[in-house]
Structure 1
């Protein structure tokens, strides 16, 4: 895993010194080597974290022996061995054992279609010196980031926003993004960022930039298609388990040690189990523990550690740790975030780095793929409403409530109303934020897309959550937290083969007998403790917000009141009058914007 920067000049400016300065901004992504390529008006820069073929011969940017193609790449191609063999059979010769060279020669052989052959996570740029074109690609689900800007002087891209900011004449906030975040909690968008002039290449997309004509074209190469499978539960279990094991086998391969992020939840526990079942080498799991017993997953992580006999490293961040590190978290994340829970992940990655580990396997994506969130129970409610089977409906809903401790009738009604009546949900959010200026704010499209998808089908909702409304933000948090400490975060549940299978399966295989994530639970029944497999209280790596935010509240208010940016969105007089009525999450969003402003806009 690495960091990349690229510049295509529109003028006669020499960016040789500039690109090295920009690379220094993302040294944490690749502290082990730096490289720069320049030809004509194009500069490609690279910071390397050595994971595969750790010799210097695989340093980047890497140029083909013919000299035509040059690549700067961030990511991992897990099936690079198979692709290498295929390319050798087609007559290509390799000078390294890296996956980087596989991408380069795959592009030489198949052009842009090469990305459809990759199983992995990536953001890369290839410069074709003959056609004067940059080909830029991002992996299917956007695990690896890619930002870009266009000014009157250059077209540029990078792995992180901070590497592009020096190229802007003025750093400004995106009014639309800030407003939507404050009122509706929307912290991620497929194409835009919180910075007015910085954009994202969406996951599953390619970008082609002609350096001669200065024209850019973005195309989508990956879109999950609905291909319903009519299979019985046992066949579904066997297919999904085989693909998950294949994904683990791919992703635990590295030329450096690999560890697991173990929360104590089902997803990370399954990964831990599968890794240990097929590994003879010592293996370490890392757990961040909440100091609040009400949402601590320590007992569950302890069960898994005892059951698997894994080497287990625990950390328990406290309030003083948070106060000390929060500015660094804001710097790493680059954009506001809606909950302090991601701070737990930051501390975990810090501890992973301190242990000398470069790669960690993460359970991210399992909830979207297997239907793990309680709110997905609404899909069952909507199905039962359509079938109009009263007795069956009552029995199924009773099981849903019994098997999900956090799900009450009131909460289920809230979820259902949100799915059926998005306008009502929007009004409720506006009402809670009376201290914010909501006049003229754009309609929160994600609320309406969520409602529409929920009513259409399970497939449509899962696709939306994976590609737009939920997962992208989680992937952003994970990438920024891990790479801040030069750690590669891998996500086995997002192997596209597994995702496509699970989205093709009928709803009653994923939500069954009142259980969320039934398919994954049943796959590993009796292989992990029942208290893990059939656990009813999902916590999802939560921070001890009740403790932290109570102590932080005065500082949050002070920062909000001192923020010039928030004057444009917030009636601070009304905010002061509401006082304790402003809940912690609402106040946190204001605070997050104030901290982001101070870090990135104040001195811009």
Structure 2
């Protein structure tokens, strides 16, 4: 797990940017504190920051060049089947100088080119430079676990693990107002766009080839979709297959030359991963955080039950609201592109504390998106199935509008969910998905923009972006599997995995996600809806498959998610910075991006008895404003 950056200069003007290579590499130091190096010739420069995980000796340092001197690789990630691939390469006459997966990847790419990608089990973003051909080949892993940004103009092509590294080359900074409009709805920016014009994110499963004459992008992997044919095996056989695949995925991810542990939130997903890990790694350390002041959000008692059952050495980081708030500024300072999933605060603190004991952690991320674990998934299925309860929710929609709605207690959260259900029933599958993916309607987000920003907004460009993001959902007769597939392509890489990568790598912690082993993903996508949500049971196959190995107390309780008491903070600790600084009317008028009157109205709703999801929208504005002052002022 590392940080990578590089430059391909098309001409003499582009070569001038080579002077920024060391700085662009240095800003990624948090991703790789163990070693830094750069290499360059007249056209290409490559930089690498290393977090040593497999083969911690200098033999595995990067950039790594083959014995011929022709090929150089920089690589961020892990190849979990590298031992098997190494044996195959040795049988073909390859001699290795290190014990690293990096060298295995280097030789495999040299021998097989882009076809090598299909043999990899792991997560990665890499760039291979061919000095003879003066070409670079880059690729991102199947699910988008590891990030890769790029920028191109007439003079140079730049790429990096984070956008701050690309900015270090001195590119012109211009806001992308279509991306901003999307951000104001979702609280994150989906690939391939970023908040900066000209800077793009590689898509999951995408590769890029570039030389003096060619710039070619390809999608080398697309997850298969459910084909609507009856399952070839019964439900019990499906459970056996899931257990076998997932345990093997966990086993593959236990390979490490540094301390390894497992996140344990108290939910079923992380509990399953920790249980399998403990089977194969005696003395496993597990980690969870709790909220001492917020029992509604605290699940550490469930995590303790699992830890006791599997015999792990469990660490609970019990935090107060003031503990959490102290880290908000640290997180805001570390964000190089607006990203406002507030659960990132908890992931950041969990990662920081875990890093004191381990360099690698397993997590249960991905199961909700694959198997239908969210409220929106159950709601979507209820709408498809119909019934009296759904019709009643729709008929009472005017009532839900006027009742107080908030995530902070069971009753007001129920009103919030019923309001969204009633609204969603009136929409097409595409529009329903888009509405439930975000916190604000398109019209609400657009209203927040100033007149000047609206002039810079290209509606046709935005509509093309939105259509591309929703292409996986049919206009009519959409099923839950279509909904889940859209989450796999949008929410998972651009929200959930972005959150985990940014917050864990801020503390040089590698997080591995067994549920996103591509074999598990492909199996999940082969299952009918009935194996995922049935009779109101979400993630049915996950719950049923592992019921016997988990404490009974984990079942039949509401899903909490990895939330933080954001509404309380915004109303108390952060009120001054909101009203007197970041969202002050005077600053908004000076800045010229947002409509002060609309923002003021949103602030007023935040302090009302009916905040709804306003706290998430305000948090999105706070994150953007903090970022803007850091990078534009």
Q: Judge conservation of contact 1:333–1:477 (CA < 8 Å) in 2.
A: no
Please report the TM-score for the alignment, with normalisation by the length of structure 1: 0.90
Q: Secondary structure at the match of 2:377?
A: helix
Greater shift in the superposed pair: 159-168 or 120-129? 159-168
Within a 5 Å distance, the mapping from 1:547-586 to structure 2 comes to: 547-551=568-572, 552-558=574-580, 559-561=582-584, 563=587, 567-577=591-601, 579-582=603-606, 583-586=614-617
Aligned mates of 2:109, 2:99 — CA distance in 1 = 17
Q: How large is the Cα RMSD of the aligned pairs?
A: 2.8
Within a 5 Å distance, the mapping from 1:140-159 to structure 2 comes to: 140-159=142-161
Q: Which position in structure 1 is the counterpart of 2:532?
A: 510
Q: Secondary structure at the match of 2:203?
A: coil
Q: Is residue 314 from structure 1 mapped to residue 316 from structure 2 by the alignment?
A: yes
Instruction: Identify the match of residue 452 of structure 1 among 461, 474, 479.
Output: 474
Q: Which position in structure 2 is the counterpart of 1:217?
A: 216
Q: Which position in structure 2 is the counterpart of 1:594?
A: 625
Q: Judge conservation of contact 1:317–1:347 (CA < 8 Å) in 2.
A: no
1:299–1:418 distance in 2 versus 1, CA, 3 Å: farther
Q: Judge conservation of contact 1:565–1:597 (CA < 8 Å) in 2.
A: no
Aligned mates of 2:7, 2:140 — CA distance in 1 = 17
Runs of 4+ with deviation above 6 angstroms: 390-394, 404-408
Deviations 1:170-225 (A, max 9, x none): 2222211112222x125121211112221111110000010x22x32110000122
Q: Which position in structure 2 is the counterpart of 1:472?
A: 494
Q: Which position in structure 2 is the counterpart of 1:429?
A: 441
Greater shift in the superposed pair: 559-568 or 293-302? 559-568
Aligned mates of 1:367, 1:450 — CA distance in 2 = 18
Within a 5 Å distance, the mapping from 1:237-316 to structure 2 comes to: 237-280=239-282, 282-290=283-291, 291-316=293-318
Greater shift in the superposed pair: 541-550 or 133-142? 541-550
Instruction: Identify the match of residue 92 of structure 1 among 83, 90, 94.
Output: 94
Q: Is residue 413 from structure 1 mapped to residue 409 from structure 2 by the alignment?
A: no
Deviations 1:478-513 (A, max 9, x none): 111111111111111100000001111111011123
Q: Secondary structure at the match of 1:67?
A: coil
Within a 5 Å distance, the mapping from 1:153-552 to structure 2 comes to: 153-182=155-184, 184-210=185-211, 212-213=212-213, 215-226=214-225, 228=227, 229-280=231-282, 282-290=283-291, 291-355=293-357, 357-385=358-386, 412-418=421-427, 420=429, 422=431, 425=435, 429-430=441-442, 432=444, 436-437=448-449, 442-443=462-463, 444-445=466-467, 449=471, 452=474, 455-532=477-554, 534-551=555-572, 552=574
1:468–1:298 distance in 2 versus 1, CA, 3 Å: same
Greater shift in the superposed pair: 302-311 or 453-462? 453-462
Deviations 1:295-349 (A, max 9, x none): 2112222222232232122223444344443232123232222332210111111
How many residues align? The count is: 583
Aligned mates of 2:179, 2:430 — CA distance in 1 = 23
Aligned mates of 1:305, 1:354 — CA distance in 2 = 19
1:197–1:328 distance in 2 versus 1, CA, 3 Å: farther
Q: Judge conservation of contact 1:138–1:206 (CA < 8 Å) in 2.
A: yes
1:577–1:95 distance in 2 versus 1, CA, 3 Å: closer
Deviations 1:255-289 (A, max 9, x none): 11111111111111111111112222x21111121
1:57–1:427 distance in 2 versus 1, CA, 3 Å: closer
Aligned mates of 1:224, 1:565 — CA distance in 2 = 46
Instruction: Identify the match of residue 83 of structure 1 among 85, 99, 102.
Output: 85
1:531–1:548 distance in 2 versus 1, CA, 3 Å: same
Greater shift in the superposed pair: 152-161 or 130-139? 152-161
Q: Secondary structure at the match of 1:247?
A: helix
Q: Which position in structure 2 is the counterpart of 1:8?
A: 8
1:312–1:416 distance in 2 versus 1, CA, 3 Å: farther
Within a 5 Å distance, the mapping from 1:106-125 to structure 2 comes to: 106-125=108-127
Greater shift in the superposed pair: 564-573 or 336-345? 564-573
Please report the TM-score for the alignment, with normalisation by the length of structure 2: 0.86
Q: Judge conservation of contact 1:189–1:468 (CA < 8 Å) in 2.
A: yes
Structure 1 position 131, deviation (Å): 1.5
Q: Judge conservation of contact 1:378–1:416 (CA < 8 Å) in 2.
A: no
Aligned mates of 2:388, 2:620 — CA distance in 1 = 44
Q: Judge conservation of contact 2:449–2:594 (CA < 8 Å) in 1.
A: yes
Question: For structure 2, which runs of at least 5 residues remain unmatched after alignment?
Answer: 392-409, 607-613
Greater shift in the superposed pair: 160-169 or 366-375? 160-169
Q: Judge conservation of contact 1:453–1:464 (CA < 8 Å) in 2.
A: no
Q: Secondary structure at the match of 1:348?
A: helix
Aligned mates of 2:34, 2:602 — CA distance in 1 = 51
Question: For structure 1, which runs of at least 5 residues remain unmatched after alignment?
Answer: 395-403
Aligned mates of 1:219, 1:147 — CA distance in 2 = 15
